[in-house]
Structure 1
């Protein structure tokens, strides 16, 4: 191989360009790593916030359901007390109402069975 000044100059320029390209690529890679790290950090924070929010929402839902169940239980208790008072105050009328309601329910059940073809 001929080692002329022009060849040496070309080799030197090529090496300089290659070194510069390598340095630029390393800088780009470092920037990409930093950006990816920042994005992952932000995403992690968002997921943590969402998890926390979902937990709070679930807790509120459980509390609301519990309150609704307690209110329903109180209302049913009031109806049961009122029914008990009515039965104790008017036993004959209560018995006649119960018999009529039972007969109506039995008639509905029998009619539904006949309509569906179930006769047993």
Structure 2
């Protein structure tokens, strides 16, 4: 019998680890604030309509980091097997064209992803 390894860590755990790390950095008075996004959340037909008409935009990055001086860093988080959708690629390209920084981070564990995001944010401060 063949043994199969399955990626069992849900995507939301990666984002939770990143947001917890960023909030910890904020609490240590680093000059930024952050916000997470749940565009991918499952919604029924009515909830999808409400999200769309109230401004939720497909392809938006998972995490936004607002830095001193009016700078915005958008971070797309991907699990080891994840990849950006066409909608995400198009949205990220539009934001980049407008002068905003968008990075995609892929890591094998939530802790490693939080480490990578911390390094990226510190490099941009």
| TM norm structure 1 | 0.25
More strand by share: 2
Q: Which has the higher contact order (CA 8 A, sep 6+)?
A: 2
Pick the structure with greater CA Rg: 1
